[in-house]
Structure 1
Amino acid sequence: MDHIVTVQDAVTAFADFMEPTDAELDAIELEIPVILAEVDLLDAQIVTIDRAPTELDERRIRRARRRVLAAHRDHVNGLAGQTGGVA
């Protein structure tokens, strides 16, 4: 009879070394407004998947797209201000 054993120790043996660095966490934190704006846009688009969008749906999608563009703009401008130019 063969015994099934877990390999959890082997899989997670190097987990301490795979943690994100402080710089990576800071970069993610800077991108949070962009991520949230994109999630809002996706939510607005998902609502209209199985039905024709109403005028209210179309406005919601347009506003969400503008928020995504503004968040991207602010993020890129923030990066340009930190590095002295666009990376």
Structure 2
Amino acid sequence: MDHIVTLQDPVTAFAPWMEPTDAELDAIEQEMPLILAEVDLVDAQIMTLDRTPSELDARRVRRARRRVLAARRDLANQGGADAPVVA
């Protein structure tokens, strides 16, 4: 019987050098408002997938889009050389 094994490294980081650095964690923390706003936008869009969007649904999506844009603006306006690039 042949055993099937993977040739790739495990996805979960086990070694200390595979953990995110403090700088990476700080960048994630700085971008967290944008990440949460984008999650809210995706949630609002998902709610409208299986039905005809009502006016309330349309407002919810527009509001979520505005929050994403505001979070991107705030992140871009933080400025400085250490500011992450928002695409």
Unaligned runs of 5+ in 2: 4-8
What is the alpha-carbon distance in structure 1 between the residues aligned to residue 84 and residue 21 of structure 2?
A: 23
- Structure 1 runs of 4+ aligned residues shifted over 4 Å read 84-87
Unaligned runs of 5+ in 1: 5-9
What is the alpha-carbon distance in structure 2 between the residues aligned to residue 85 and residue 27 of structure 1?
A: 8
- AA paired with 2:51? R
The alpha-carbon deviation at position 83 of structure 1 amounts to: 2.4
- AA paired with 2:76? V
Would you say 1:44 and 2:57 are equivalent positions? no
Partner residue, 2:27: 27
The alpha-carbon deviation at position 43 of structure 1 amounts to: 0.4
Partner residue, 2:77: 77
Q: What RMSD, in angstroms, separates the aligned Cα atoms of the two structures?
A: 3.0
- AA paired with 1:36? L
After TM superposition, the score normalised by the length of structure 1 is: 0.77
Change (3 A) 1:57 1:24: same
What is the alpha-carbon distance in structure 2 between the residues aligned to residue 85 and residue 30 of structure 1?
A: 9
Q: Whose radius of gyration is greater, 1 or 2?
A: 1
1:26-80 deviations in Å (ceiling 9; x for gaps) = 00000000000000000000000011100000000000000000000001111x1
- AA paired with 1:71? A
Q: Percent identity?
A: 67
After TM superposition, the score normalised by the length of structure 2 is: 0.77
Partner residue, 1:65: 65
What is the alpha-carbon distance in structure 1 between the residues aligned to residue 84 and residue 27 of structure 2?
A: 15
